[in-house]
Amino acid sequence: MIALKARSQVIPDLKAKTLQGIIRNEVEGEAHIMTDTNHSYWGLDKQFASHETVDHTRGEYVRGIVHVNFSESYFSLLKRGIFGAFHHISAQHMQRYLEEFDFRWNRRKMNDFERLVEAVAGTEGTRLYYRAPSFLKGA
């Protein structure tokens, strides 16, 4: 089984052209795609090995192996982080928050020490630059 990895990005809209363009760039053609019934996903079956949907409006959440539980799990983690810890995230830093939650979701089965080692290793050779807060300017 292939390990599923979250790779999130800020997108301008939920139109078919936008979503399907991103999916084509991020997903291999042999993939079997599973989504909800959003119309923006119509036509994915022609671009990938298969495209199956679950219809939440009919109370359908799983049909055999077809489900969207991984994406729902990711968004649940993201929403809990926003509501529980951050309370608000700005559009300016949205991509950074998404990358943090990609990291968390992709390592959710690791213990705290393993996650810490990966986080510290990921900082090697990097430096974050932020503008000085306005109250420090001229001080």
The CA-to-CA distance between both ends of the chain, in Å, stands at 57
How many domains does the structure of the chain reveal?
A: 1
Closest by Cα among 123, 121, 136, 130 to 93: 130
Query: By residue range, what is the domain housing residue 100?
Result: 16-121
Q: How confident is the model at residue 9 (pLDDT cuts 50, 70, 90)?
A: very high
| Within-domain flag for 2 | no
| Within-domain flag for 97 | yes
Distance CA 83, CA 66 (A): 29
Mean pLDDT of 98-121: 94
pLDDT in tens, 32-80: 999 999 999 999 999 999 999 999 999 999 999 999 999 999 999 999 9
pTM of this prediction?
Answer: 0.77
